[in-house]
Amino acid sequence: MHSKVVWLGRQEYGVVLARQKELVQKVRRGAEPDTLLLVEHEPVITLGRTAKKEHLLLSEAALKERGISLFSVERGGDVTYHGPGQLVGYPILDLNRYGRDLHLLLRNYEEVLIRTLADFGVAARRFPPYTGVWVGEEKVAAIGVAVESWVCFHGFAFNVDPNLDHFRLIVPCGISEYGVTSLARLLRRPVGLMEVIPHVIRHFADVFGLTFGPVEKELLGESER
């Protein structure tokens, strides 16, 4: 069974979270192959398992006034922002096929994005002890995962060309001493998600040893574009 890539377009966070959880059960049962969901979210802030409330710099009511929703989720990590211009990847993988190694999983996600950025002439790196992908001392991609019955979900958020001002509403990933950047800022030009997606898919397939068919599209709600 070939693995598959599904492009969800722009979607509200809660709709995609429900789709992830549905896929986790299907992949666990063998009813669906390993699947990489790719999505662009409407503005949302998510709080991971270790999130500290003081890392959210506005109240939920104030965020709602700005059109930004808030979710507490089961992924690892602290507080994260998602929004238009950011490519979010949710790999739903049966880790029994990948050695049940969460540390390796995180490093592989980083590797996919480091290779993608290299395609654009950007030298990105890991920055231990922090998870994610960095250019200099600025984070360009955040990573956080959850696992259920050795099937992983949640994943990575790659800042292609988002509104970086929105990151000032939080302490991103609980890290106050370093900044956040985007591919567009690094290249000093606008960058669309469709310019980046083929690179991410190719490197994901290479790093994980997968064979993907053509990208599928899935309609989950009225926000899809």
Would you please indicate which residues are annotated as catalytic (active-site) residues? 173
Cα(221)–Cα(225) distance, rounded to whole angstroms? Answer: 10
Edge-first strand order for the sheet with 44-47 is 69-72, 44-47, 79-82
DSSP string, 169-182: GB-GGG--SSEE--
Task: Please tell me the total number of residues recorded for the chain in this structure.
Answer: 225
**Taken in order 5, 89, 188, 42, is the CA torsion positive or negative?**
positive
- Gyration radius from the chain CA atoms: 16
Cα(92)–Cα(35) distance, rounded to whole angstroms? Answer: 5
- From the list 33, 30, 31, 36, the residue with the least C-alpha distance to 5 is 36
**Residue 70, CB-side half-sphere exposure with 13 Å CA sphere:** 17
